[in-house]
Structure 1
Amino acid sequence: MFAANIPAVAPAEVPADAYLLDVREPDEWAAGHAPGAHHLPMMEIPARLSEIPTEGEVVVVCRSGGRSAQVVGYLMSNGWDNVRNLDGGMRGWAAAGHPLQSEDGRPARVI
């Protein structure tokens, strides 16, 4: 876990049906993200809360886990009880051998 009060999940334990919420910046997303993930940059979260599911598991991810932990804390303080932080972020995701895809046609990578 990133912080004692922030629920987290290891990359190997992310449920196949989880809603993967990527809160990185657009350039980070374009370089490489998990297939099927949903992009919502961290700074846009307050204005776009209605886009985040309140049911089913939501796994929040950034590059290494810091920003996503902040988002999980914010969502929990606003009533979400179905959110967890991805341990290690996209770096951990890639290191665990999970697939990445890019938006720019270049080989996918975590930046």
Structure 2
Amino acid sequence: MLSPFRRGSARLTPRPAHRQTSDGTAVLLDVRETPERNAGHAPEAPHLPLSRPVAGASLPAAAKGGPVVTIWRSGHRSPQAAELPDGGGAQTADVTGGMADRACAGLPVVGPGGSEGVLA
């Protein structure tokens, strides 16, 4: 089976992205701004707001050294995040439909203190 990851950006729907990030094949990286993420996020996703790597910030340690799947609210800006250089040439993909489609697929979305999250 061919990997959905490649240099540059590939696209995954929410369920395959969840499978790959749950089994450790890849790391899900939430690239929404902080208020959006705080309202509800994938429990396994480290956070790096898209504005930070655009300004030169590097990937969180958890997202270095392997495939990365980026996620945004609706999936429109995560391809942009998947194209950002990380200094190590990571293989990247993004989630089509973003957190909105992830929530519609019944995948976990948590809020503050582990409560059920919402999308802001």
Q: What is the TM-score when the length of structure 2 is the normalising length?
A: 0.76
Structure 2 Cα separation of the partners of residues 67 and 31 of structure 1: 18
1:30 counterpart = 2:38: yes
* Alignment match, 1:42: 50
C-alpha RMSD of matched pairs (Å): 2.2
**Of 44-53 and 22-31, the range deviating more from structure 2:** 44-53
Q: Which amino acid aligns with 1:6?
A: S
2 CA distance for matches of 1:7 and 1:105?
30
Query: Is 1:60 matched up with 2:70?
Result: yes
Report the identity percentage.
34
Moved over 3 A (4+): 104-107
Please report how far the alpha carbon of residue 66 of structure 1 lies from its aligned counterpart in structure 2 after TM superposition.
1.7
Contact 1:54 1:82 in 2 (8 A): no
Shift of 1:54: 4.1
Distance in 2, Cα, partners of 1:27 & 1:50? 19
Taking the aligned partners of 1:87 and 1:32, their CA distance within structure 2 comes to 18
Specify whether residues 75 and 93 from structure 1 end up closer, same or farther in structure 2 by C-alpha distance, changes over 3 A only. Answer: farther
Moved more, 79-88 or 90-99: 79-88
User: If the length of structure 1 is used for normalisation, what is the TM-score?
Assistant: 0.81
1:13 to 8, 13, 16: 16
Cα separation, 2, equivalents of 1:80 and 1:30: 29
CA distance in 1, matches of 2:114, 2:13: 28
What's the CA shift string for 1:24-81, capped at 9, x where partnerless?
01110010000121111001014322536343221100001122111112238x6534
Alpha-carbon separation, structure 2, partners of 1:41 and 1:9:
20
Classify 1:27/1:9 alpha carbon distance in 2 versus 1 (closer, same or farther; 3 Å).
Answer: same
Q: Which of 79, 96, 99 is the matching residue for 2:105?
A: 96
Which stretches in structure 1 are left out of the alignment for 5+ residues? Answer: none
Distance 1:12 1:80 in 2: 25
- The answer as to whether partners of 2:73 and 2:119 remain within 8 angstroms in 1 is yes
* Cα deviation, residue 12, structure 1: 0.9
